[in-house]
Amino acid sequence: MDRNNLCIQNDISCDDFQRQVDDVLIRHKSILDIVTKLDEYTSRINRAVVKSVTSCGCIKINATKQDYNKDSLEEIKNNMENHVEGNMCPGCKEILQEEIGAYLFYLAALCNALDINMSDALLKEYSNMKALGIFSLK
Ligand SMILES: [Zn+2]
């Protein structure tokens, strides 16, 4: 296949993605396969992050206790750390993107099996974030 045929527009919609998953999912159509594939790809995402630290070394994780002892949520937010040092190299980033993409595939498959529209879920979460802001406490 021509490389240009593999390119996907950046503005692909959730609905298009969900429909495409429905069109191509054959082997793991059972809800049992779907939920276990979601577990598998959660592990693979975590493994890809860890391998970036322990094998490649492009990022480091330097974790310490988070400091919640501030006067306001805004102050707490501004002082929270993700504990990642450095930047993921292109090779590690590509692997992680593949694992995330596969996870999204099975998330869409789960939505299809249970008649849930991914766009609706995304929009509902987005609306909650917009309404609650930092008070969503996530
Ligand atoms: Zn790397």
Residue 56 CA to ligand 1 center (angstroms) comes to 5
- The encoded tokens of residue 44 equal 């693979």
Residues near ion ligand 1 (CB < 5 Å) are 52, 56, 58, 89, 92
Residue 100 CA to ligand 1 center (angstroms) comes to 16
Residue 69 CA to ligand 1 center (angstroms) comes to 35
- Spatial contact of 36 and 106, defined as CB atoms under 8 Å apart: no
C-alpha–C-alpha distance, residues 38 and 109, integer Å: 10
User: pLDDT tens, 72-83?
Assistant: 888 988 899 999
pLDDT band for 136, please (50, 70, 90 cuts).
Answer: confident
Residue 53 CA to ligand 1 center (angstroms) comes to 7
Residue 105 CA to ligand 1 center (angstroms) comes to 24
Q: What letter would DSSP give residue 61?
A: E
C-alpha–C-alpha distance, residues 45 and 96, integer Å: 6
pTM of the model as a whole: 0.85
User: pLDDT tens, 104-122?
Assistant: 999 999 999 999 999 999 9
Which residue, chain included where needed, has tokens 């999204």? Answer: 104
pLDDT band for 32, please (50, 70, 90 cuts).
Answer: very high
